[in-house]
Amino acid sequence: MKKRFPTALMVLIGIAALGILRAAPAQIQTPAEACRFSQYSQHEDVVRFLSALDAMSPQTAVRVVGRTREAEDFPAKDLYLVLITEGGAVRPDQLDRSKPTVLLMASQHGNEQSTKEAALALVRDLAVGDLKPLLKSLNVLVMPQCNPFGNAMDVRVNEQNLDLNRDHVKLEAESTAAIRRVFVEFRPEATIDVHEKGDDYYRVSLGCVSNLNIHASLQDFSRRKILADVAAALERKKIAFFEYLVTQEMGLDSSAGVRYAAEELAGREEMKRYSTTDLNDGRNSLGIYETLSFIQEGASRHDVATLADRTAWQYEGLRAFVESAARHSGEILPLVRGLRAKLLENAGRYEAGDVVHLDMDYARDPSQPTLTLKAFERTRPAAAAGPRPLGTLKTDKKAGETLTAADIVPAAPAGAARVVEQVVKNWFPLVESRLAVARPLGYVIPAAYTEVVRTLLRHGISVGLIAKDAQVEVEAYRIGEIVPAKYDYLPPDKITVEKRTMPALVKQGDFYVSCAQPAAHLIPALLEPQSKYGLIRYRACKLVPEAGNFYGLLRVTADPKLSTIPYKPWN
């Protein structure tokens, strides 16, 4: 018998919202469809919808995978994972592993409301709608509402005032920790993190991995197969598409999670690049496990008046994505699993040429010095545009005749007089490595660094507790110059090191982390002192050393022959 999640059952009956999404099965509408997109769905609406779908579909199961923290005037809320599989799996061991598993995460940013609404529509259509045949080729996991507090307040951050999509290294939030637990438990081959951007001409953008520690063949496959399929599908529906781009001020890292002062941003030229190399976002943080990992961004004015339109764009992007993943399922499995097996094999031995990249920068491409994009040229502010029509009929319709989305050409956005071309001169499409080190066999972490160990455990990384004292040859870093960062969440402005090989007394109660595990790329990126992506950038980890001292964590490049037991904190 399929396990149900504990909540009341409610079946919502009706027809799909006029001209928005393709017609829903008559037995169930999403909360947004049921109210004709007149308001944002809240946590209780999502619970009722998932309850109805769970009761109706043998292929659907719902699990509670976490719980947010209680905030003032806002109680803690459960976080849900929806499993839609041909066999109705509830646990990882019940998945049909002859198929790829896809994990979708929505609404990390609470004010990006269409992500949740589109995810719920996709869940419905996979479970009881016209996408159900895709389950013959895919297992699909969906976390449709990762930030209930942000959704309720219509703000970006969660109840801890954290930007969840800048928290995939530290994992301070309950939601990001839950995402990581789901990933570690189910180990999907592909993931997609759904967001909203500004009111862009390109209604849907999809981005793939960009961190150089992720095998280049994953980025190549993503662009040649998945992004190409999505672009073609959206073109057929007259939805403008472009690979996801980020605009940021030159000389600053907008992906680190730092909230810069206005005067630090003023006067800087802007650049465009493909998304971030950072590991603190929901794409590279999972891609570094050799995963086909994506971000989808939908155009948005962030108002209820445009909710139907922007949900439709998001839905069509997600639909095209899962259809492409199903089409290429026979290629995805050997690609991802082969890379993961090779990573584990390599991490089990020390090779000086097997490196992990710790610092990267965005670079120009001499063969493409500029980029030409389309954009709206507005003649009046969108706020002054007033009510906008649903769209224009393609053919004449008489009273009483059925009207569908296919019959309507969507209305142009308010304030958009025409589409123009813009030339981007500060275009940085490439990523280059600035620093790399050989991956060690593992790291010794002295007992005092409890926050480092807690963070590794939140990532699902196995940590060994050293059972008795031992003398071990290690590589230690002596610090030369160091300039601490002005802000938390940033690495030191400058740090130079001298690596020394020496014997060290490793004590009972210290910790040892082997790199021979699925997080083989991630572990050095988190623990090395010169890592742009590491735990050294979080003050709570207390890893920033003083000049002349040794960095607290030690590298091991030969079998340390340590007596360890798996560490399990009991609190």
Angstrom distance (rounded) from CA 92 to CA 185: 7
Place of tokens 């895919």: 138
For residue 43 the two structure tokens come to 């946590």
pLDDT of residue 252: 82
Instruction: Give CA–CA dist 561/225, Å, rounded.
Output: 45
Question: How far is Cα of residue 112 from the mean position of the Cα atoms in its chain?
Answer: 14
Domain that holds residue 317: 61-251+269-347
Which residue blocks in 187-255 are alpha helix, DSSP H?
A: 216-221, 228-236
pLDDT one-digit tens code per residue, 222-268? 999 999 999 999 999 999 999 999 998 988 877 877 888 888 888 89
Q: Is residue 425 part of a domain?
A: no
- By the 8 A CB rule, do 476 and 554 touch? yes
Percent of the chain, pLDDT > 70?
88
CATH code, 172: 3.40.630.10
- Which of 171, 176, 181, 65 has the alpha carbon at shortest distance from 455? 171
Quick one: 444 and 299 in the same domain?
A: no
| Best CA proximity match to 18, nearest among 301, 397, 308, 298 | 308
Within this chain, do residues 332 and 472 fall inside the same structural domain, yes or no?
A: no
Q: What does the block give as tokens for 116?
A: 């949740």
Please list, in sequence order, all residues whose beta carbon lies within 8 angstroms of the beta carbon of residue 157, skipping any fewer than 6 positions away.
110, 150, 163, 164
Do 233 and 100 share a structural domain?
Answer: yes
For tokens 């027809």, what's the residue? 15
Category of 462 on φ-ψ map: left (φ > 0), alpha (ψ -120 to 50) or beta = beta
Please give the Cα distance from 111 to 526 (Å, whole number): 30
What is residue 381's predicted lDDT score, i.e. its pLDDT? 54
- Alpha carbon distance 168, 161 (integer Å): 15
Determine the pLDDT at residue 231. Answer: 98
Those residues whose C-beta lies under 8 Å from the C-beta of residue 8, and which sit 6 or more positions away, are 48, 51
CA proximity to 358, closest of 523, 179, 219: 523
From residue 231, give the alpha-carbon distance in Å to each of 251, 315, 555.
Answer: 32, 14, 45
285: in domain: yes
Give one DSSP letter per residue of 115-130, joined into a string: HHHHHHHHHHHHHHST
Q: What is the pLDDT of residue 400?
A: 38
Question: Which of 347, 378, 397 is where one domain is finished?
Answer: 347
- Does residue 480 form part of some domain? yes
Q: Are residues 308 and 446 in the same domain?
A: no
Helix 307-327 vs helix 113-128: angle between axes, to the nearest 10 degrees?
Answer: 50
323 lies in the same domain as 448: no
Last residue of a domain, one of 297, 314, 347: 347
pLDDT beneath 50, residues of the chain = 1, 3-4, 6-26, 382-409, 416
Whether residue 125 contacts residue 131, with contact meaning beta carbons closer than 8 Å, is answered with: yes
Q: How far is it, in rounded angstroms, from Cα 510 to Cα 501?
A: 19
Contact of 361 with 535, CB cutoff 8 Å? no
Residue 532 lies in a domain: yes
Tell me the torsion sign for CA atoms 246, 251, 255, 257.
negative
CA 400 to chain centre: 45
For residue 348, give the amino acid letter.
Answer: G
pTM over 0.85? The answer is yes
**Whose structure tokens read 């016209």?**
130
Centre a 10 Å sphere on the Cβ of residue 560 and count the other Cβ atoms it contains.
Answer: 22
Question: Would 552 be classed as within a structural domain?
Answer: yes
Q: Is residue 11 part of a domain?
A: no
Distances (CA, A) of 317 to 242, 374, 527: 11, 19, 37
Q: Are residues 314 and 446 in the same domain?
A: no
> Is residue 514 assigned to a domain?
yes
Per-residue pLDDT tens for 281-328?
A: 999 999 999 999 999 999 999 999 999 999 999 999 999 999 999 999
| Domain-embedded: residue 279 | yes
Instruction: Count the domains in the chain.
Output: 2
Rounded-to-integer distance, Cα 105 and Cα 358, Å: 27
Specify the pLDDT at position 1.
Answer: 41
Long-range pairs, 557-562, Cβ under 8 A, ≥24: 557/350, 557/438, 557/440, 557/441, 557/475, 558/350, 558/441, 558/473, 559/441, 560/441, 560/442, 560/444, 560/470, 560/472, 560/473, 560/506, 560/512, 561/470, 562/464, 562/466, 562/470, 562/472, 562/506, 562/512
CA distance 298 to 244: 10
Q: How many C-alpha atoms does 417 have within 13 Å on its Cβ side?
A: 5
pLDDT reported for residue 172: 96
Among 347, 379, 401, the domain-final residue is 347
